[in-house]
Chains A and B, each alone.
Chain A
Amino acid sequence: MGSGERAEFKNPVVSWIDERLPVFSMMQQEYGVFPTPRNFNYFWNFGAIAMFMLVAMIATGIFLAMNYTPHVDMAFDSVERIDRDVNWGWMLRDIHMNGASFFFIAVYVHIFRGMYYGSYKKPRELLWILGVVIFLLMMATAFMGYVLPWGQMSYWGATVITNLFSAIPLVGDSIVTLLWGGFSIDNPTLNRFYALHYLMPFVIFAVVFLHVWALHICGSNNPTGIEPKGKQDTLPFHPYYTMKDTFGLLVFLVVFCVFVFYAPDYLGHPDNYKEANPLVTPPHIVPEWYFLPFYAILRAITFDVGIPGTEIVFISAKLGGVISMFGSIGLLLILPWLDTHPIRSARYRPKFRFFLIVFLVVFVMLGYIGSQPADATLFGAPLTLLGILSTTYYYGFFLVIIPWLNNTEKGKDLPKSIHDAVLEDAREAAKG
């Protein structure tokens, strides 16, 4: 990461090490004096918060693994034993369980912040793509982790999600058998999910390292979306942002602790406290909340795509749903090339800002739709209809609205510099 002159350290041990492996210089350059835009708002806390959650998940996960047994006959009981008999086991498990949710909360805010302030735009495209990769890896990890307690939702969630791959033409069924290691979700599946669930967080950690590395090459974006032009626009990372991040993290952790200690099962499903039973499907299978919008997109496609009036089908409804779901994340990957508008921040793009906020509302709506049974209604309207409309907006936002705004939105005048924007805000505030 670091380059340039090595700082002098007074402590002879530190100095001795630093001459041979400049870790102290690197920390000083990247986290001590690192020039950071002076105008961050609290949205900029969530990267650090997500980082903290990752470490917390790995720490609790390692200790949970010491008491967990990955076998279909024992997994469920071993988790109950962690809850009841292992010293502090309940707390480790509740932190891990709710930690997944809070990790996703932090990451969703972090992603939305990136979209709002145009942080994905040149030169931060690769930084953004690495972030989407982290998000995908998190989804895979969370899914496999949810299977481990071997409850009814674990089992049937795993069944539904692995069956998605059977939609792939020709090789789908062979892929599913390969994933399962058998002819249904069974012990081999549980074993490999456990192995991968233990591995993936370290892969995430490695990609986070690349993500932060890329960040430190081009520097942070900021609420104005204009690059710092000099010393008057930046602050050293320490103590200014170490303090701001710590404060934000503590507020976040207060909310987290409320869930961990007072409502540990609020975000979960009662069905998962029944042991997995391959012969009985729960009447209503739903994924964890953080997958609901994507689950709604999966279910929104209920029609085959083919030549009308004939029996010819190119894409079955099932394959169409799977493609739409993965495509919805694929759109994030290419977002830097869809949105080529020169202004980054939505602050100076009122139209983009309006459509982005509608997008947020639609995304939450999709989450609600995903949580309901397939045949539910809302104010008399069938949810399947709302599902397809919301999915259309999701795709339309990326593929129609954003390209359209590229050519039509003029945007507001940008401030001359970050420094100017901050002073302007201060003047406004003084006037009252």
Chain B
Amino acid sequence: MGHGAGETRRDFLQLTAGSFGAVGAGIALWPFVHSMNPAKDTLALSTTEVDISPIRKGQSITVMWRGKPVFIRHRTEAEIEEANAVSIADLPDKQDDAERVKKDKDQWLVLVGICTHLGCVPTGQKQTETRGEFNGWFCPCHGSHYDTSGRIRKGPAPKNLALPPYEFLSDTLIKIG
């Protein structure tokens, strides 16, 4: 430690003590902040098994996963074709339909049913509901249109409808989460 320019051993001690105290206070704060994160029981509820055999072609069901709606749509050939016919370069969030379904199971589309804009639930699960201009889903809050692959096509939402992690346990049973 230099003694020139008014720097003293005391300055050094004050700085070290001060930073040590600040780090300590920061560490003491963490348990309080982290207590607000999802608790263990909330995390434990994070898988759901769904029997998809009753869903006819063209129908959709909504199941709850982690308190959120998950859309499972049994797509028709026409809908799959429509999803594949799009030129990827024109999409706001570029994704091929094949990336959004499981291999050889492209009739099953599984999505988190939450608009990527501000979190509303889009309509279009029932055939009587508005499906928007691209025949998929439509968010009534701020007017986002999703296509038959759940990709954003028009409106303020920045991203495609999210895909939850899921796997096929058998041909008729999927596990979400």
User: Is the CB–CB distance between B143 and A374 below 8 Å?
Assistant: yes
CB neighbours of B121 from chain A (8 A): 278-281
Q: Is B42 engaged at the interface, CB distance under 8 Å to the other chain?
A: yes
Q: Could you say which of B119, B122, B143, B158 contacts A316, with CB atoms under 8 Å apart?
A: B158
Q: Is B38 engaged at the interface, CB distance under 8 Å to the other chain?
A: yes
CB neighbours of B33 from chain A (8 A): 178
User: Is the CB–CB distance between A177 and B37 below 8 Å?
Assistant: yes
A375 to B140, CA, bound (A): 10
User: Is the CB–CB distance between B156 and A182 below 8 Å?
Assistant: no
Q: Which of A166-224 contact B (CB under 8 A)?
A: 177-186, 188, 192
User: Which residue on chain A has the smallest CB distance to residue B115?
Assistant: A281
Q: Is A164 engaged at the interface, CB distance under 8 Å to the other chain?
A: yes
Q: Is A318 engaged at the interface, CB distance under 8 Å to the other chain?
A: yes
CB neighbours of B68 from chain A (8 A): 183-184, 278
Do most interface residues of chain B lie in helix, strand or loop, or is the interface mixed?
Answer: loop
Q: Is B17 engaged at the interface, CB distance under 8 Å to the other chain?
A: no
CB distance from B63 to the nearest CB of A (A): 10
Q: Could you say which of B38, B62, B142 contacts A177, with CB atoms under 8 Å apart?
A: B38
CB distance from B33 to the nearest CB of A (A): 7
Q: Is B86 engaged at the interface, CB distance under 8 Å to the other chain?
A: no
Q: Which of B105-135 contact A (CB under 8 A)?
A: 117-123
A279 to B129, CA, bound (A): 14
CB distance from B126 to the nearest CB of A (A): 11
Q: Is A163 engaged at the interface, CB distance under 8 Å to the other chain?
A: yes
User: A281-B121, A374-B142 are contacts. A182–B42 as well, Cβ < 8 Å?
Assistant: yes
Q: Mark B49-86, 1 if CB is under 8 A from A, else 0.
A: 00000000000001010111100000000000000000
CB distance from A156 to the nearest CB of B (A): 7
Q: Could you say which of B42, B67, B119, B143 contacts A375, with CB atoms under 8 Å apart?
A: B143
User: Which residue on chain A has the smallest CB distance to residue B143?
Assistant: A374
Q: Is A431 engaged at the interface, CB distance under 8 Å to the other chain?
A: no
Q: Is B36 engaged at the interface, CB distance under 8 Å to the other chain?
A: yes
CB distance from A303 to the nearest CB of B (A): 10
CB neighbours of A162 from chain B (8 A): 119
A181-B39, A183-B46 known; 8 other A-B pairs, CB under 8 Å? A177-B37, A181-B37, A182-B38, A183-B66, A186-B42, A278-B67, A278-B121, A281-B123
A180 to B158, CA, bound (A): 22
User: Is the CB–CB distance between B37 and A281 below 8 Å?
Assistant: no
Q: Is A357 engaged at the interface, CB distance under 8 Å to the other chain?
A: no
User: Is the CB–CB distance between A281 and B66 below 8 Å?
Assistant: no
Q: Is B23 engaged at the interface, CB distance under 8 Å to the other chain?
A: no
User: Is the CB–CB distance between A178 and B69 below 8 Å?
Assistant: no
CB neighbours of B122 from chain A (8 A): 281
User: Is the CB–CB distance between A192 and B67 below 8 Å?
Assistant: no
User: Looking at A180, A182, A185, A299, which has the most chain B CB atoms within 10 Å of its CB?
Assistant: A182
Q: Is B141 engaged at the interface, CB distance under 8 Å to the other chain?
A: yes
User: Which residue on chain B has the smallest CB distance to residue A180?
Assistant: B38
User: Is the CB–CB distance between B67 and A182 below 8 Å?
Assistant: yes
User: Is the CB–CB distance between B66 and A159 below 8 Å?
Assistant: no
16 contacting pairs across A/B (C-beta < 8 A):
A160-B120, A178-B37, A180-B38, A181-B42, A182-B38, A183-B42, A183-B67, A184-B67, A185-B67, A279-B64, A279-B69, A281-B120, A281-B122, A317-B156, A318-B158, A374-B142
User: Is the CB–CB distance between B142 and A299 below 8 Å?
Assistant: yes
User: Is the CB–CB distance between B67 and A186 below 8 Å?
Assistant: yes
CB neighbours of A279 from chain B (8 A): 62, 64, 69, 121
CB neighbours of B37 from chain A (8 A): 177-178, 181
Q: Mark B27-50, 1 if CB is under 8 A from A, else 0.
A: 000000100111100100010000
Q: Mark A282-320, 1 if CB is under 8 A from B, else 0.
A: 011100000000000001001000000000000011100
Q: Which of A226-285 contact B (CB under 8 A)?
A: 278-281, 283-285
User: Which residue on chain A has the smallest CB distance to residue B89?
Assistant: A311
CB distance from A373 to the nearest CB of B (A): 8
User: Is the CB–CB distance between A285 and B158 below 8 Å?
Assistant: no
A341 to B69, CA, bound (A): 55
CB neighbours of B143 from chain A (8 A): 374-375
CB distance from A343 to the nearest CB of B (A): 43
CB neighbours of A317 from chain B (8 A): 156, 158
CB distance from B128 to the nearest CB of A (A): 14
Q: Which of A314-341 contact B (CB under 8 A)?
A: 316-318
A317 to B122, CA, bound (A): 19
CB neighbours of A183 from chain B (8 A): 38, 42, 46, 66-68
User: Is the CB–CB distance between B39 and A160 below 8 Å?
Assistant: no
Q: Mark B135-177, 1 if CB is under 8 A from A, else 0.
A: 0000111110000000000001010000000000000000000
User: A184-B68, A279-B69, A285-B120 are contacts. A160–B141 as well, Cβ < 8 Å?
Assistant: yes
